[in-house]
Amino acid sequence: MRAVRRFTVRASLPESLSGLGALATNLRWTWHPPTRDLFASMDAELFNRIRDPLRMLTALPPSRLAKLAVDEDFLARSRAAIEDLEHYLTEPRWYQEQDGELPDAVAYFSMEFGVTEALPNYSGGLGVLAGDHLKAASDLGVPMVGVGLLYRAGYFRQALSLDGWQVEHYPVIDPTAFPLELLTERGRPVLVDVAMPAGRVLHAQVWKARVGRIPLLLLDTDTDANDEDLRKVTDRLYGGDADHRIRQEILAGIGGFRAVRKYCELTGHPQPKVFHTNEGHAGFLGLERAREIIQADQLGFDEVLPAVRAGTVFTTHTPVSAGIDRFPVDLVQRYFGDGRLVPDVELRAVLALGAEENPGMFNMAHMGLRLAQRANGVSALHGRVSRRMFSRLWPGFDEDEVPVSSVTNGVHGPTWVARELSALLGEVGEGGLRERVGDDALWALRRDLREKLVYEVRRRVRAAWLQRGASPLELGWTETVFDPDVLTVGFARRVPTYKRLTLMLRDPDRLRALLLDEKRPIQVVVAGKSHPADEGGKALIQQIVRFVDDPAVRHRIVFLPDYDMSMARYLYRGCDIWLNNPVRPLEACGTSGMKSALNGGLNLSIRDGWWDECYDGSNGWAIPTADGVTDPLRRDDLEAAALYELLGQQIAPLFYDRDFEGVPGGWMSMVWHTLETLGPRVQASRMVREYVESGYVPAARMVAAATSDGYKGARSLAEYRTKLGTSWPQVRIFDSELIVGAKEPLVVGTEVQVRARIDLAGLDLSEVDVQAVVGKVGDGDELSDVVTVAMHPDGIGAFAAEIRLPYAGSLGYTVRVLPKHELLASPAELARVHLA
Ligand SMILES: *Cc1c(COP(=O)(O)O)cnc(C)c1O
């Protein structure tokens, strides 16, 4: 018989153990080893197998629980752990020590959250980043609420067929078995509603996970309140067609916002005023915020827009236009057209927000940019790429003035660093690490981590072969796969084409020679999932699998199926080299290399994403990029050759160059340098502090300025924009000239005057910025390295500025007029500029 429905009954804990429930349901245990130790001490073998405190409590036999309930030593340790958690949840932390006006709460929206493998609600880097963001926010005391969806099939598990083809299966999750609580009101589940076309309504229940101090709200449509079709809206992550996706995104944005409101009402949690969207998927939330203000305060959409924008931070993760989330306009029309979804926000306004070059498409990134006053990419290079990619939205501005900044991603150290390593290194921030700890101690630890990886590799290779149909009798060889003393290279990531999973196979003979080198062999562990619909990606996996299946090399190179956070941990800790070879600049940031670096791994990577700004010549290696080579095959050839060269000529020799005690001194210098210099830089805490300082705090200040006094600021900006609508096109700049006073030849530092006559078309002097701009000029008279100086009124209709010539060589100048209003965060914001 099959069950119609499954559910999980939690253990009824003896009174003296009841506090364990709080420890098991707060996911802080995922980055707090002492809490894990406590649960492991209940039954080490069982805990090792399931690694989830909540499941532990269900799985332990009642007789064991009864014993523990009277075990004074255990009770004392659990009381200490509970107190420690209580302390962690309430004590003032970094955020509480900051001065100035801080937002009471920030809501963080993401389509996926990878907090732990015990809550498989993510597919890859974006989700893990979101999880790390919440954890770091918790550690810093940032009052955040996470918002997303709960998927019934979190993400697929990957297996291999005998011929190396990816096979997916979707384990169905049972939320009641997870560390989740249903949000209820007077004992009944809270339902959040969003209108669907044809008079239908989509309902979602709301689960809450506790990520340290941060509540994470996850919406779930699998409730009896929905019909069969609508139940499936949150069936799986990134599955289905455009219609399915828009329903998910409407639910995440609009439903997510309503869930936050309800949650705060019920719990007294402060209502967020600042909203951060991790990618554009939840962007519709801005419409719902607008509706709320329109209805409560009787304002027009244009008046509300500045207030909504002020409180929104948008992070884009996509360096290619093709990767941007877009919907056919008629689909958006279908959902927003009848006015039930966000009443009082006209369809016309909705469509304008997502407008792009192609009039038939609605662009979620464009909407993200139009609804957020602050936007950023996720590495310095990605910031530049994004400014170029979106520059069409700010015509007349140079790329570097496009208001998209960058905040480089980071990773949550306590989650990803091996605890043995944290223990060895002690508190970060103490100088002279190498002298204090010593090469031999760290080298011994690195070997230990490599050895743990080797055992894990053997276990997984064997399991994968059994799963592919091999008999245990033919798997003896798996016990000698890998060697704990061989230089270990890791490559694990999703397999979209640009990441080039198979670059290492470009010249199979050269790879084989590196693997089988008698004196200085390398061993390579590869892992990665392909999107289920991506046949090309699956073909790449098959290519790798066919290579590694060869008995001649299978002891030195493996493909491990089912890459996820639990496997990732072993890889990041145990690999000596973390390889990354995307096609530059398609990797927005990349974070796996950061996790490796925190564990003393050295990166070998194309200078893309974070590595472009962090590579310093002695913290790893940069694979030279064949920029400008347009033939992709030739580019692959060149870059693969450079990769083999680095591995064979530099990396392996350094690794195997040992002193009389067997320690590779040169190698260790690089490891220490990596730990000391990259260690602090790649932390998610650094990233979250940057978001607080450059995003959330200024956003909160702008929200206050826009909304106080009955939305006076927002109204004034709306009025100003209307005024610009008529006046701006009439503004004219005439007769701009450069006046050189002295007769001597111009040298650097000579003071010159720039003058112009300007017709402001009725705009007040306080409503514009008039600037003189001087910079270098190239062949096309394009200005670069510009110096900008404000021009002051100098007679009727005339403006002037004094400038010292900043450079030698060919210079040029121009004059420009920009809008000015106290609620603008950047001069480019309104995409208006007049140039002489
Ligand atoms: C960190 C991480 C990623 C992201 O890795 P990239 O370097 O961005 O490709 C993906 N999956 C898992 C499980 C991770 O832990």
Q: Do 390 and 446 lie in a common domain?
A: no
CA of 568 to the centre of ligand 1 (A): 8
Q: Which atom of ligand 1 is nearest to the CA of 580?
A: 7
Confidence class for position 428, pLDDT limits 50, 70, 90: low
Contact 565 CB / ligand 1 (< 6 Å): yes
Protein residue closest via CA to atom 5 of ligand 1: 592
- Confidence at 778, pLDDT banded by 50, 70, 90: confident
CA–centroid distance, residue 250 to ligand 1 (Å)? 27
First to last CA, the chain: 80
Dihedral of CA 817/823/824/825: which sign?
A: positive
Q: What pLDDT does 94 receive?
A: 98
Q: Is any atom of ligand 1 closer than 6 Å to the C-beta of 689?
A: no
Q: Please check whether residues 380 and 434 belong to one and the same domain.
A: no
Task: Give the residue, by CA position, lying nearest to ligand 1 atom 15.
Answer: 565
Place 743 in a pLDDT band, splitting at 50, 70 and 90.
low
Q: Is residue 714 part of a domain?
A: no
At 430, is the pLDDT very low, low, confident or very high (cuts 50, 70, 90)? low
Report the CATH number at residue 667: 3.40.50.2000
How high is the pLDDT of residue 429?
Answer: 55
Atom of ligand 1 nearest to the CA of 569: 15
Residue 816 pLDDT > 90 = yes
Indicate the range of 1-5, 750-754, 792-796 predicted with least confidence: 1-5
Q: What is the mean pLDDT of residues 658-679?
A: 96
493 CB less than 6 Å from ligand 1?
yes
What is the CA(735)–ligand 1 centre distance, in A?
Answer: 56
Q: Are residues 540 and 672 in the same domain?
A: yes
Nearest residue (by CA) to ligand 1, atom 4, is 125
Take residue 149 and report the two structure tokens written for it: 């969806």
Query: Quick count: other Cβ atoms within 10 Å of Cβ 318?
Result: 20
Instruction: Render the burial of 289-316: b for 16+ CB within 10 Å, e for the rest.
Output: bbbbbbeeeebebebbbbbbbbbbbbbb
Q: Are residues 76 and 105 in the same domain?
A: no
310 and 420 in a single domain? The answer is: no
96: CA distance to ligand 1 center in Å?
Answer: 31
Q: What is the mean pLDDT of residues 793-800?
A: 93
Domain stop point among 61, 90, 119: 90
The answer, yes or no, to whether residue 427 has pLDDT greater than 70, is: no
Question: Whose alpha carbon is nearest atom 11 of ligand 1?
Answer: 124
Residue with tokens 């990732």, as numbered in its chain? 568
Are 183 and 206 within 8 A, CB to CB?
Answer: yes
Cα 142 from Cα 685, distance rounded (Å): 11
In this structure, the answer to whether residues 61 and 125 fall within a common structural domain is no
Q: Ligand 1, atom 9: nearest CA belongs to which residue? A: 493
Residue 704 lies in a domain: no
pLDDT tops 60 at residue 343: yes
**Beta-carbon count within 10 A of 440 CB:** 13
Whether residue 176 is found in the same domain as residue 53: no
**Ligand 1 mean position, distance from CA 128 (Å):** 7
- Ligand 1 geometric centre to CA of 493 (Å): 6
Q: Report if residue 696 sits inside a domain.
A: no
> Are 657 and 802 within one domain?
no
Domain membership of residue 822 (yes or no) is: yes
Reference 460, options 353, 564, 585; nearest CA is: 564
Q: How far is the CA of 113 from the centre of ligand 1 (A)?
A: 12
Q: Does the beta carbon of 495 lie inside 6 Å of ligand 1?
A: no
Q: Look over the chain and give the mean of its residue pLDDT values, rounded to a whole number.
A: 95
Distance CA 281, CA 94 (A): 30
Rounded CA-CA distance 245/325 in Å is 10
DSSP string, 32-90: -HHHHHHHHTT-HHHHHHH--HHHHHHHS-HHHHHHHHT-HHHHHHHHHHHHHHHHHHH
- At 523 the three-state DSSP class reads strand
**Separation of alpha carbons 238 and 206, rounded Å:** 20
Q: Tell me, using a 6 A CB cutoff, whether residue 564 lines ligand 1.
A: yes
Per-residue model confidence as pLDDT tens digits over 150-175: 999 867 899 999 999 999 998 888 89
Q: Which atom of ligand 1 is nearest to the CA of 564?
A: 13
The finding on whether 721 has its CB within 6 A of some atom of ligand 1 is no
In angstroms, what CA-CA distances link 618 with 329, 362, 593, 622, 649?
Answer: 50, 46, 15, 10, 16
Residue 752: phi and psi, rounded to 5, are -125, 165
Distance 453 CA to ligand 1 centre (A): 17
pLDDT of residue 14: 86
**For the CA atoms of the chain, what is the radius of gyration?**
29
Closest ligand 1 atom to residue 499 Cα is: 9
Is the residue at 9 inside a domain? no
Q: Is the CB of 592 under 6 A from ligand 1?
A: yes
For residue 124 and ligand 1, the question of a CB distance below 6 A is answered with yes
Q: What is the mean pLDDT of residues 564-591?
A: 96
Of 389, 406, 423, the residue at which a domain comes to its end is 406
- Euclidean distance between CA atoms 44 and 750, whole angstroms: 77
pLDDT in tens, 685-724: 999 999 999 999 999 999 999 999 999 999 999 999 999 9
CA 422 to CA 430: how far, in whole Å?
13
State residue 747's pLDDT score: 86
Looking at the fold, whether 552 and 422 belong to one and the same domain comes out as yes
Look up the CATH number of the domain holding residue 824: 2.60.40
User: What local confidence, expressed as pLDDT, does residue 628 receive?
Assistant: 86
For residues 369 and 388, membership in a common domain is answered with yes
Q: Is residue 706 included in any domain, yes or no?
A: no
Nearest atom (ligand 1) to Cα of 594: 7
DSSP state of 535: H
Q: Whose CA is nearest to atom 1 of ligand 1?
A: 592
What is the extent of the structural domain holding 117?
A: 100-406
Tens-digit pLDDT profile for residues 509-530:
999 999 999 999 999 999 999 9
Residue where a domain terminates, one of 406, 438, 468? 406
pLDDT exceeds cutoff 70 at 235: yes
From 133, 318, 591, mutation site for ligand 1 pocket: most ligand atoms within 8 A of C-beta = 591
Atom of ligand 1 lying closest to residue 411 CA: 1
Are both 775 and 641 inside the same structural domain? no
DSSP 396: T
Residues 384 and 442 in one domain: no
Q: How many domains does the chain have?
A: 4
10-62 pLDDT, tens digit per residue, is: 777 888 999 999 999 999 999 999 999 999 999 999 999 999 999 999 999 99
Q: What is the DSSP string of 113-139?
A: B-S-TTS-B--SHHHHHHHHHHHHHHH
Q: What is the pLDDT of residue 578?
A: 98
Is 591's C-beta closer than 6 angstroms to any atom of ligand 1?
yes
Determine if ligand 1 sits within 6 Å of the CB of residue 410.
no
Residue 215 in domain: yes
Q: How many helices (H) and strands (E) does the chain have?
A: 31, 30
User: Which of 148-152, 435-439, 692-696, 779-783 shows the lowest per-residue confidence on average (mean pLDDT)?
Assistant: 779-783
Q: How far apart are CA 560 and CA 557, in angstroms?
A: 10
Encode pLDDT of 349-408 as tens digits: 999 999 999 999 999 999 999 999 999 999 999 999 999 999 999 999 999 999 999 999
Reported as a single tens digit per residue, the pLDDT across 280-311 is: 999 999 999 999 999 998 999 999 999 999 99
Ligand 1 atom with minimal separation from the 587 CA: 8
Query: Among 102-111, 158-167, 191-200, 738-747, whose mean pLDDT is lowest?
Result: 738-747
CA–centroid distance, 607 to ligand 1, in Å, is: 17
pTM: 0.96
690 is a domain residue = no
How many whole angstroms separate alpha carbon 33 and alpha carbon 640?
A: 40
Judge if the beta carbon of residue 682 lies within 6 A of ligand 1.
no
Q: Check residue 808 and report its DSSP letter.
A: S
| Beta bridge partners of residue 737, listed in sequence order | 755
- Determine whether the shortest distance from the Cβ of 549 to ligand 1 is under 6 A: no
Q: Whose CA is nearest to atom 3 of ligand 1?
A: 125
Indicate if ligand 1 lies below 6 Å from the C-beta of 287. no
